[in-house]
Amino acid sequence: MNSEMSGKSKVRRELLDARRLLSPEDVREASLVLARHALELPELTGARTVAAYVSVGREPGTRALLDALRTRGVRVLLPVLLDDNDLEWAVYEGPDRLVPARRGLTEPAGQPLGREAVLEADAVLLPGLAVDERGMRLGRGGGSYDRVLARLEAAGARPALVVLLYGHEVVARVPEEPHDHPVHAVVTPEGVRRFAARPRA
């Protein structure tokens, strides 16, 4: 294991430990404030299609945001985890059309649209554990969203990339590997922070 990988593992453990200290009420209250801030983003205000995800456990909550986007008439795509850890997508049709899935996830019950459906998104909401001052995101390490971001880049798609986090998860620096992509903005209960676009090395 190289030093960047081992550094990521250590930071992930610390961040997950901090999330475990949050109460269900903390998570619920944060989710409502996150939804309010996210819905004010111009990238979401003008979006016709948004790729998002269903939060689980003590992740920053997305369910209020998903419902608000759908109420606005936005086509919301949610991920379906494949056997190889890649993601395909299906349309969010409401909370009663979500089903339990592998690895403790929740997925849409509708017909999957394939891996390329994400290319239609005007904005992509990414799960994460942290983002740093450069906009570099630290994920959970499964690689699913690395593949999604690589697919977007290969197709020349340019959706807004937004990560939802708790305030203490915006840090000075996260370990970075060559395949990592910066995001355009982070939404926390404290507000929105944007990052200057920078070329990939």
pLDDT confidence tier of residue 4, bands split at 50, 70 and 90: low
Residues of each annotated binding site for ATP: 8-12, 137-145
Residues of each annotated binding site for substrate: 54, 59
Residues of each annotated binding site: 8-12, 54, 59, 137-145
94-143 pLDDT per residue, tens: 999 999 998 899 999 999 999 999 999 999 999 999 999 999 999 988 88
C-alpha span between 155 and 183 (Å, rounded) = 17
Total structural domains within the chain: 1
Q: Check residue 6 and give its pLDDT.
A: 64
pLDDT for 83 beyond 60: yes
- Which H or E element spans position 145? helix 144-155
Residue 200 within a domain: no
Residue 201 within a domain: no
Residue 69 within a domain: yes
Pairing between β-strand 106-108 and β-strand 98-100 as defined by DSSP bridges: antiparallel
Q: Give me the CATH number covering residue 67.
A: 3.40.50.10420
* Strand ranges across the sheet with 170-171: 137-138, 130-132, 170-171
pTM given for the model = 0.92
